[in-house]
Amino acid sequence: VSLEEVPVWTAKSLVDRGVHLCVQGDSVKATKFKRNEALDKKISLFSGDITKLEIDGIVNAANKTLLGGGGVDGAIHRTAGPLLRSECAELRGCETGEAKITGGYGLPAKYVIHTVGPIAMGEVGEEERSRLRDCYRHSLQKATDTKLRTVAFPCISTGIYGYPPEQAVHVALETVRKYLDEHHEKLDRVIFCVFLPTDKELYLKNLPLYFPSG
Ligand code: AR6
C-alpha cells in the first residue's frame, strides 16, 4: 500500500487496506506469551507518520516541559497548531514515565496523550526500562480512563532520547500485551506506529512473540 494514496488513516481503513497485521503464530516456535484470542484482531503495525492517523488518540513522545520539541513531538505540534501548545502550557509539565492528555486540535486524531520517555543515551538499566514501561502503561491507562477505543504509539525514547530500539521494542510489546490481557474489553485497537524501516523490521520480527495467533 502506498502511503501517499491515503492521506489520513482511520482504524477501519488500516484494516480494510491490509495494513492491519494479523500475526501468524504457527510459524513462530518460541513465543513469550500464549495466544489470547480476544487480542487477535486488535493489534496493528502502521509504518508512517503518526499525525496521519484519524483515530481516538495518538501518543506523543514529549519532554518534561510538554511545550514541544523535535522528532515526533515537533510533527504533532506542527500539525495540531498553536492551540495544542496553549493547552499543554496549562498542564505545567510532566514527569518521566507519566502521561497527560489534551485535545488533538488540527490533528485528525481526537486526543493526544503526552508521555515523557527516559533519556537513555545508549545506556539502559533497570531504571530506564521501568520508566519506559511506565510510559506505555500510563498512556494506556489515560486512554481507557478517557474512554478512547483506538490508540497509536510511536517508538518512545528511541530517537533523540537514545534508548536502543532493539531493547525498547520488547518493553513496548510486553507492556501493551500485559495491559490488554487485563483490559482488552476497553480498547478496540492498539497501533504500533513505526517511522524507520529498521523499527518496522524489529516490530515484524517481535510482534509474533507477544501477540501470537492462529
Ligand atoms: N510519526 C511517527 N513516528 C515518528 C515521527 C512521526 N511523524 N517522527 C519521528 N518519529 P523522538 P524521543 C519517530 O526523537 O526519543 C523531542 O524533541 C522516530 O523515528 O521523536 O522520545 C521531544 O520534545 C523515533 O522512532 O522521541 C523530546 O525532547 C520515535 O518517533 C525528545 O525529542 C521517537 O523519536 C524525545 O525523544
pLDDT digits (tens, 9 = 90+) for 1-16: 444 444 567 777 776 6
* Helix, strand, coil % in the chain, rounded to nearest 5: 45, 15, 40
Select the more confidently predicted residue: 120 or 25. Answer: 120
Whether the pLDDT of residue 170 is over 70: the answer is yes
Select the more confidently predicted residue: 37 or 143. Answer: 143
Q: 35 C-alpha to center of ligand 1: Å?
A: 31
**212 pLDDT tier (thresholds 50, 70, 90):** confident
Read off the DSSP letter of residue 70: S
What gap in Å lies between CA 40 and CA 213, rounded to an integer?
6
What gap in Å lies between CA 130 and CA 15, rounded to an integer?
32
Choosing from 160, 193, 194, 196 the residue with most ligand 1 atoms within 8 A of its CB, the one to mutate for a pocket test is 160
Percent of the chain clearing pLDDT 90 (strictly above): 77
Residue 205 near residue 45, CB atoms below 8 Å: no
**Assigned C-alpha cell, 30:** 518460541
| Whole-number pLDDT of residue 17 | 64
| Whole-number pLDDT of residue 136 | 98
Strands (DSSP E) along the chain, which ranges? Answer: 9-10, 43-47, 53-54, 57-62, 99-103, 111-116, 150-153, 189-194
Residue 190 near residue 137, CB atoms below 8 Å: no
Please give all residues whose beta carbon lies within 6 A of any atom in ligand 1, as ranges.
49-51, 61-63, 69-73, 75, 117, 154-161, 193, 195-196, 199
Which residue has a Cα nearest atom 33 of ligand 1?
A: 159
CA neighbor of 32 nearest in space, from 184, 174, 132 = 174
Read off the DSSP letter of residue 27: G
Instruction: Report the relative pairing of strands 111-116 and 99-103 from DSSP bridges.
Output: antiparallel
pLDDT digits (tens, 9 = 90+) for 25-73: 333 445 678 888 888 789 999 999 999 999 999 999 999 999 999 999 9
Q: 146 C-alpha to center of ligand 1: Å?
A: 24
What gap in Å lies between CA 22 and CA 25, rounded to an integer?
9
Question: Which is the closest atom of ligand 1 to the Cα of 162?
Answer: 15
H/E stretch holding 135: helix 126-145
**143 pLDDT tier (thresholds 50, 70, 90):** very high
Strands (DSSP E) along 154-211, which ranges? Answer: 189-194
| Whole-number pLDDT of residue 60 | 99
Q: Roughly what angle, to the nearest 10 degrees, separates helices 71-80 and 82-91? A: 120
| Whole-number pLDDT of residue 7 | 55
Helix (H, G, I), strand (E, B) or coil at 195: coil
Q: Please, what is the average pLDDT of the chain? A: 90
What gap in Å lies between CA 112 and CA 105, rounded to an integer?
9
Which of 33-42, 59-68, 147-156, 173-182 is predicted with the least confidence, judged by mean pLDDT? 33-42
**Assigned C-alpha cell, 48:** 508512517
Residue 113 near residue 139, CB atoms below 8 Å: yes
